[in-house]
């Protein structure tokens, strides 16, 4: 049995589907019951309702599991406390592996939510629990909520400069890599950079034009507009501040890693953006 935390989110749902497809029984942990049927349909064998901020809940969720796939809610102020709870649960239940779904470049202090995860990574390394840490780039899938609007307006907009280099990654590749890491004893106690090839918004727009057969313009979405939308859907002030810092940093530096580690884990090149777009069109 594999425990997947924060199971109702985009990452959690992908991991449930991937682990289940690989024949791994999955216990999905989330706070509320609103998505139970969806998670079962994705392949979860069980759904556990509990709060990551409660050590007892996490420990109870991990009982009988051979591994924990730890996904923390994004941009939260108590990230280090929750990480400590998961480590305590991993110790108490003596899991064979704690896999932490972290983020690319946790050493960058200007990205507060990345920096917080650096200290969770440190605590995991020092815990004595066999671990694997996946430092994951931003997903291609982050553009999908705006896909219909893009087709309608002819504008692909994200909240950073159109020439900012980004090592985006296909979430399907991430979930496949997670399954491989979980089942490879040689990946215990390793830290792995999980990202795809570098691409800019301008380059994405050029590919979209060619594949879709219509004009798509790359445009920077004003950061205040993106943050305002986040506030509207319930992102707390702390998260809004993290976003503000993140977009400013991306404008100057982008977020760039190496795709070679992911290629090594998958045994093939990571999915490029053009292949991703063609797949989305095929299933639309």
List pLDDT tens digits, range 238-283. 999 999 999 999 999 999 999 999 999 999 999 999 999 999 999 8
CATH of the domain at 82: 3.40.50.720
Assess if residue 220 is contained within a domain. Answer: no
Q: Are 127 and 158 in contact (CB under 8 A)?
A: no
Assess if residue 78 is contained within a domain. Answer: yes
Assess if residue 280 is contained within a domain. Answer: no
List pLDDT tens digits, range 157-187. 999 999 999 999 999 999 999 999 999 999 9
Q: Quick one: how many helices (H) and strands (E) in the chain?
A: 12, 11
* Three-class HEC string of 179-235: HHHHCCHHHCCEEEEECCCEECHHHHHHHHHHHHCCCCEEEECCHHHHHHHHHHCCC
List pLDDT tens digits, range 219-247. 999 999 999 988 898 889 999 999 999 99
Which residues pair with residue 131 across a beta bridge? 98
Q: What are the respective helix, strand and coil percentages of the chain, to the nearest 5?
A: 50, 15, 35
List pLDDT tens digits, range 46-62. 999 999 999 999 999 99
Helix (H, G, I), strand (E, B) or coil at 141: helix
Per-residue pLDDT at 272? 97
Number of structural domains (the chain) is: 1
List pLDDT tens digits, range 109-144. 999 999 999 999 999 999 999 999 999 999 999 999
Assess if residue 60 is contained within a domain. Answer: yes
| pLDDT of 71 above 90 | yes
Check: pTM over 0.85? Answer yes or no.
yes
Assess if residue 132 is contained within a domain. Answer: yes
Question: What's 64's DSSP letter?
Answer: T
Assess if residue 47 is contained within a domain. Answer: yes
| pLDDT of 10 above 80 | yes
Assess if residue 95 is contained within a domain. Answer: yes
Q: Which domain holds residue 96?
A: 2-137+170-195+258-272
- 234 CB-contact burial (10 Å; exposed 0-12 / middle 13-18 / buried 19+): exposed
According to DSSP, the β-strands at 166-167 and 198-199 are antiparallel
Assess if residue 89 is contained within a domain. Answer: yes
Per-residue pLDDT at 153? 96
């Amino acid at each position: 049995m594999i425990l997947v935390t924060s199971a109702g989110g985009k990452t959690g749902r992908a991991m449930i589907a991937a682990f289940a497809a690989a024949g791994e029984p999955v216990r999905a942990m989330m706070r509320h019951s609103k998505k139970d049927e969806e998670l079962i349909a994705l392949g979860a064998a069980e759904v556990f309702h509990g709060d990551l901020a409660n050590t007892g809940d996490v420990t109870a969720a991990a009982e009988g599991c051979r591994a924990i796939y730890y996904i923390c809610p994004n941009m939260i102020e108590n990230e280090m406390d929750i990480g400590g709870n998961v480590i305590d649960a991993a110790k108490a239940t003596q899991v064979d592996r704690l896999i932490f779904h972290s983020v690319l470049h946790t050493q960058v202090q200007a990205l507060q939510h990345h920096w917080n995860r650096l200290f969770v990574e440190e605590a995991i390394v020092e815990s004595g629990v066999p671990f694997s840490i996946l430092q994951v780039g931003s997903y291609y899938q982050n553009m999908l909520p705006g896909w219909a609007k893009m087709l309608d307006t002819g504008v692909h907009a994200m909240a950073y400069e159109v020439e900012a280099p980004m090592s985006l990654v296909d979430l399907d590749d991430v979930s496949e890599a997670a399954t491989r890491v979980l089942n490879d004893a040689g990946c215990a106690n390793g830290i792995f950079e999980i990202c795809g090839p570098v691409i800019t918004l301008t380059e994405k727009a050029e590919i979209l034009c060619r594949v879709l057969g219509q004009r798509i313009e790359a445009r920077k979405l004003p950061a205040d507009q993106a943050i305002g939308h986040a506030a509207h859907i319930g992102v707390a002030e702390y998260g809004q501040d993290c976003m503000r810092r993140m977009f400013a940093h991306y404008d100057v530096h982008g977020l760039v890693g190496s795709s070679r580690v992911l290629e090594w884990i998958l045994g093939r090149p990571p999915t490029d953006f053009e292949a991703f777009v063609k797949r989305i069109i095929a299933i639309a």
